[in-house]
Each structure stands twice: as C-alpha cells, then as structure tokens.
Amino acid sequence: MAGKVYLVGAGPGDARLITIKGKECLEKADAVVYDRLASPRFLKWLKPGAEKIYVGKLPDRHTMKQEEINQLLVDLALEGKKVVRLKGGDPTIFGRVGEEAELLYRNGIPFEIVPGITSSISVPAYAGIPVTHRDLASSLSIITGHESPDKLDRMIQWDKVTNATGTLIFMMGVAKIGYISRQLMAHGRPPETPVALVRWGTRAEQDTITGTLENIEQKVKTANFQPPAVIVVGEVVLQREHLKWAEQLPLFGKRILVTRSRSQASELVGRIEELGGEPYEFPVIETVMPTSEKALSDIRQALDRLVSYDWVFFTSVNGVEYFFRHLSEAGKDIRSLARARIAAVGPATGAALRERGIAAEVLKERYQAEGLVDAYGEQMKPGQQVLLPRGDLARDWLPRQLKEMGLGVTDIKTYETVLAGEDDDELMKLFEEGGIHAVTFTSSSTVTNLLRILEKMGKTPPAELLRDSAVACIGPLTADTARKAGLHVSMMAKEATIDSLVEALCEWNKDEPRRHRD
C-alpha cells in the first residue's frame, strides 16, 4: 500500500514561522526530504527512527537533480511511508512543487500541499520593510532573479514589470543585482529608487544592505554581500529607517547553543527566542530514575521514615521532581513532611516546591550547597536528621559538612544523569564555520558531556571546536569545570538562574557589531 507525501513549506528560516500543520506533518513523518534552506531545528521534531535525506543545492554543486528528487518521493511513498518534502518559504513560489506533485499524481501517490510563509514577504518584514503601504505601494510583484540575463529577458517583460506595481520583490538575484538595476532604470524606474537586499532573513545570519538602483551594485560588491537574499525595490524600503524591529532585540544575530536536557530546555529556549536570538537545542544530558537496587532500597528506607527528619534540603528542580515521583509511587504525600523544615537552593527550586503545595524557605544568596550552611548553620543542632534528595552526580561537600557538624545525613540518589545527544553533522559544521556564537552551560555535567559528545563525533581536542564561541555559565562551579576543561569562560550569571544567565548574554551582545549597511 502506498504511503503519502506532504509537500510542506517550512517558512523563511525561523523555526517558529512554520505553520501548525507543517509541524504536525513533520512529527508524524517516516521520512523527511529537506534542503539547505530548512532550519536544522525542524529535524528535532521528527519521531525516533525517522529517515532524514538531504537533497539541498549548494552554490558550487547540486546534491541531487530535481528529477531524482521527484523520483525519490515516489519511491519512498511506494514503500508505504509518510513522507515530508520540506522546502524553504512556500513550496508554490519558485519551489518547483508543481514538478514534484505532477509525478506523484502520475504514479497514483496521494499528496497534500501545505503552504508556508513565503520569504518574499517575511524576510523584508524582519528587516522592517512592509512590502505594501497605503501611501507608498498598493501592489507588489514577486519575480525570480536567479536566471542568466538571457533567460531573465525571456521570462520577464521588463517594459511591463518595471512599473506594474509599487513594490518589486526579486528572489535569489544577488549575483544579477547590477543587471536587474540597469534594466529597471532603462525601463523607467528613477535611479534614486530605494533598494534593499536582506540576506538569510529571520535567521541568526540576517544581514541587510540598502541603497538605490544607481549605487546598489557597487555597495553589494564592496560589502562582498553573498546569497541567499531577497531584493526589495520601491519606496517601502524607506520604512526600514523606523521599523527595523528585529535588529533592536538584545540577542539579534546570535545563535546560542542550549545544552540542557530536553525536558528543561524550554524556558531558556523561549527566553532566547523572545529576545531575538536563535536557539540551537542540543541536549547533552538526560535525567532518569535510578536503576540500581541499592539506590532504590535507600530511597524506600528514607521514605519510610520521613516523619523523623528535622530538615529536608532540595538543591535542584530535578531533586524536587524525582523526589515527588518516588513519593507518589510509595503511596505517600506531603503530609509525611509535616515535621521537617524544608529549604530550597534557588528560586526555581522553590517554585517547583510551591507547585506541589510546599512554601519552602528559599535561599536568596549563594544558590549552591555552601549557601545552605551559611543560611541555616547556626540553627542546625547536633543529632538532628537531614534528608538530601539529590542526583547521582551531586558533590559530596554538603553531606560531609553536615556530618562534621554532628547531624545525621540521609543522602538519597533520587535520579541519575546520563549522557544524551546523537551525532549532529549540522552542529559540527556550524562550530567549524563560526555559526555558534555562544554556548550555554547550566551544570558541570553539561560541560563534560558536550565535550565527550564532540570528541565522539571526531573532534580532538573537543575544546578547540569552541574557540570562536562565547561560553556562558550559570554559576562558579560550572565555570570552574569549563575552565578546567580548557574553555575560556566569557560570561557568568550573577545569580544561578536562567533569567540571570539570559541577562549575561544580553550584556555580552551589547558590544557586538550589528549586521546592516544602511
């Protein structure tokens, strides 16, 4: 039985600009056929085992001919697979979707065309250029600019196109900008007509150059402005002076690697996106329930005597989540903690406890184990019992210190931290090309695991791959681990929180040059 092919528009590059239906198609796909213009982040939405096939075209070579791509879609569908053909922008605008769909039709393969946000309007919008304006342009034309001059002249009736609409959008025409400009001037557009080229719009590499029909060719050559780019011709370009909103965002132009576990990355990813950065998710750790019988036995014994503890110290959100998972499995609830004073290291840990009905005492300074002793040391008495629900990689400083103070300590390993992350050729390429502008580390294990994974992917020494990337650490312990691993720590959060880490990234980016050449 034949499968089905979804011809999906991925939008201009920013992963959030794909449609809901497009994302749903990716999530259920057995195979995805994609090209250079698709964001690598889309591939993170695929289900485990889904086949990834790259068929994109590079400036110096064609990975696969269009006829071969067409046949590939048929062959995959005949294997009974749900196939997504992922295309940048909208598949019906210079996306050759008609050729692909026609062969599917001739072979009796069911298919759907899923529209996407075309880069012809979205890329200018991200550069602060609305393609229409009530006072400046009430119509627009979308024109290919990629072909040779002879073919352009056969395809474009310059005498009609030049003044047919207020705004002209040329797709993929950077190399022909001089010829396009001369043709438009020859057919009636004034030399002073504003022009903008927007490269990699909506992505971290977004770059804009502006000029006029008369001088834009020279500006492009001087700046060595490279494709892919959208060309906008018309008075609407002048709106950019007031409307270039994306470039005002504090993390504009930065691609930031997020190494947190997938279950915890959403807050950091969301903040980066909100502030104009482009997050690249590459979780290098995952947390799992303990597997050893000793760890499980220790947890059961501790839960059986919860009413005996004078103190319970939670040092992380994971510690809270896994403790309550064990508590639930044991058939117990928070009433068992009625006798204990409960303290949390950091506001995020405190918030996790509040969600479970516990208003814990939250450390307001030193969001680490030492802060617990600083804050409560004088109130702790020899002979009191302390419960520490933590992970298997937690430092032994706190239990040792408490024992030296004469307290009874029950240190249970409620979760284990394991190596995550699979080979990612796109990430390696971005590192090598300087496309990862900053790397965030939220724990020592994210540092060690990222370097282990990079080494496994063939980079030795792995720290060398991060030489052009800023390194941002959430606290001094993480920063110390990074330095010992040979990394240069560029910034550290003032407090061990995600908000503080993001603030550090914004401060760092203030002094970075913004890419535009108005």
Give residue-wise pLDDT tens across range 274-326.
999 999 999 998 999 998 999 999 999 999 999 999 999 998 899 999 999 99
Task: Band the pLDDT of 155: cuts 50, 70, 90.
Answer: confident
Number of domains, the chain: 4
The mean pLDDT of 186-203, rounded to a whole number, is: 96
Instruction: Supply the residues annotated as catalytic.
Output: 35, 57, 172
Give the model's pLDDT for residue 110. Answer: 96
Q: Among 117, 133, 164, which residue terminates a domain?
A: 117
My answer on whether 111 and 172 are in the same domain is no
- pLDDT of 495 reads 86
pLDDT tens column, 443-491: 999 999 999 999 999 888 999 999 999 999 998 989 999 999 999 999 9
CATH of the domain at 386: 3.40.50.10090
> Does residue 412 have a pLDDT over 60?
yes
Assess contact for 237 and 168: CB atoms under 8 A: no
Q: Clarify whether residues 129 and 242 are in a common domain.
A: yes
pLDDT value, residue 373 = 81
Asked whether residue 360 is assigned to any structural domain, the reply reads yes
Q: Is the pLDDT of residue 229 over 90?
A: yes
Q: What is the CATH number of the domain that holds 136?
A: 3.30.950.10
Contact between 137 and 110 under an 8 Å Cβ cutoff? The reply is no
Question: Are 261 and 285 spatial neighbours (Cβ–Cβ below 8 Å)?
Answer: yes
pLDDT band at 102 (very low <50, low <70, confident <90, very high): very high
Local confidence band at 148 (pLDDT 50, 70, 90 cut-offs)? low
Same domain, yes or no: 447 and 383: no
Give the pLDDT band of residue 376 (cuts 50, 70, 90). Answer: confident
Helix H or strand E segment including 232: strand 229-233
Residue 363 pLDDT exceeds 80: no
Q: 82: helix, coil or strand?
A: strand
Check residue 57 and give its pLDDT: 62
- How much is the pLDDT for 367? 59
Range with the poorest average pLDDT among 53-67, 311-325, 344-358, 380-394: 53-67
pLDDT of residue 516: 60
**Between 375 and 503, the higher pLDDT residue:** 503
Confidence band for 198, pLDDT divided at 50, 70 and 90? very high
For the segment 6-25, the average pLDDT, to the nearest whole number, is 95
| 211 CB-side CA count, 13 A | 20
Least confident of 141-155, 401-415, 432-446, 490-504: 141-155
pLDDT at 425: 83
Q: How far is CA 182 from CA 104, 187, 190, 192, 209, in A?
A: 41, 9, 11, 12, 18
- Residue 62 included in any domain: yes
Query: What is the 8-class DSSP label of residue 237?
Result: G
Average pLDDT, the chain: 91
Q: Which of 84, 117, 150 is the last residue of a domain?
A: 117
Does pLDDT of 342 surpass 80?
yes
- Asked whether residue 271 is domain-assigned, the answer is yes
The DSSP code for 246 is G
For 384-421, the DSSP string reads -EEEEEEETT--SHHHHHHHHTT-EEEEEEEEEEEE--
Q: What is the DSSP letter of 84?
A: E
Q: Which of 514, 478, 518 is nearest to 498 (CA)?
A: 478
Report the pLDDT value the prediction gives residue 199, as an integer from 0 to 100: 95
292/19 Cα distance (integer angstroms): 44
- Burial (CB count within 10 angstroms: exposed 0-12, middle 13-18, buried 19+), residue 475: buried
- What's the rounded Cα separation, in Å, for the pair 363 and 348? 11
DSSP state string for 432-480:
HTT---EEEESSHHHHHHHHHHHHHTT-SSGGGGGTTSEEEESSHHHHH
Residue 58 has pLDDT above 70, yes or no: no
pLDDT of 513: 61
Q: How far apart are CA 369 and CA 374, in angstroms?
A: 9
What's the longest Cα–Cα distance across the chain? 93
Instruction: Evaluate if residue 497 carries a pLDDT over 60.
Output: yes
* pLDDT above 90: residue 388: yes
User: How far is residue 505's CA from residue 499's CA, in Å, rounded to a whole number?
Assistant: 10
Average pLDDT in the 42-66 region? 79
- For residue 264, the model assigns a pLDDT of 81
pLDDT band at 223 (very low <50, low <70, confident <90, very high): very high
Q: Quick one: angle between helices 369-376 and 397-404, nearest 10? A: 30
Residue 157 maps to a domain: yes
The reply to whether 361 and 343 lie within a common domain is yes
Using CA of residue 64, residue 13, residue 240, residue 115, what is the dihedral sign? Answer: positive
Helices (H) and strands (E) in the chain, counts: 19, 24
pLDDT band at residue 348, thresholds of 50, 70 and 90? confident
- Domain of 19 in residue numbering reads as 4-117
Statement: residue 366 has pLDDT above 70 = no
Q: What is residue 513's DSSP assignment?
A: P
Estimate the crossing angle of helix 177-186 against helix 216-223, to 10 degrees: 170
* 193 and 341 assigned to the same domain: no
What digits encode the pLDDT tens for the residues 73-101?
A: 999 999 999 999 999 999 999 888 999 99
Q: 518 in a domain, yes or no?
A: no
Pair (412, 430) in one structural domain: no
3-state secondary structure 117-159: CCHHHHHHHHCCCCCCECCCECCEEEEECCCCHHHHHHHCCHH
In a domain, 515, yes or no: no
364 pLDDT above the threshold of 70: no
Q: What is the pLDDT of residue 174?
A: 94
Whether residue 184 is found in the same domain as residue 296: no
Tokens standing for 42?
Answer: 């889309």
Is the model's pLDDT at 67 over the cut of 80? Answer: yes
- Strand 491-492 vs strand 470-473: parallel, antiparallel, or unpaired? parallel
Question: Alpha carbon 419 to chain centroid distance?
Answer: 20
349 vs 367 pLDDT, higher one: 349
Which range among 6-20, 61-75, 390-404, 446-460 shows the weakest confidence by mean pLDDT? 61-75
* pLDDT higher at 81 or 42: 81
On the question of a cis peptide bond just before residue 462, with omega within 30 degrees of 0, the verdict is: no
Q: How far apart are CA 374 and CA 362, in angstroms?
A: 13
Is 213 a domain residue? Answer: yes
